[in-house]
Amino acid sequence: MSQPDVSVVIPAFNEVDYLPRYLPTVTASLRHWEHVSGASGEIVVVDNASTDQTAAVAASLGARVVTETVRSIGQVRNTGARAAQGRYLFFTDADVALPLEALDTAVKAMSSGDSVGGAIPPLYTPARFGARLLCAFWDAYRTRKGGAQGVAQFCTAAVFAELGGYRQDLFMSEDAEFFARLSAHGRRTARPVRIVDELRVRPSTRRYDQWPSWRMWWWQNPVTARLALSSPRFWRHWYQSTVR
Give the pLDDT means over successive 10-residue stretches in the chain (244 positions): 90 96 98 97 97 97 97 95 98 97 97 95 94 92 85 97 96 93 97 96 94 89 86 83 68
In this prediction the pTM is 0.95
- Judged by DSSP in three states, 102 sits in helix
pLDDT given for residue 222 in this prediction: 83
Under DSSP, is residue 228 helix (H, G, I), strand (E, B) or coil?
A: coil
Distance (Å, whole) CA 80 – CA 76: 6
**Count of other CB atoms within 10 angstroms of residue 127:** 10
pLDDT given at position 236:
83
Residue 141 confidence (pLDDT): 85
Q: Is 215 helix (H, G, I), strand (E, B) or coil?
A: helix
pLDDT, residue 241, reads 65
Domain made up of 6-240: CATH architecture: Alpha-Beta Complex (3.90)
pLDDT of residue 221: 85
Note the pLDDT of residue 128. 92
Strands of 48-189 (E only): list them.
Answer: 64-67, 88-92, 96-97, 117-119, 152-156
What is the pLDDT, as a whole number, of residue 177?
A: 95
Q: How far apart are the first and last CA of the chain?
A: 36
Alpha-carbon distance of 124 to 202, in angstroms, equals 6
CA distance to 41, 54, 222, 223, per residue, from 145 (Å): 32, 35, 12, 15
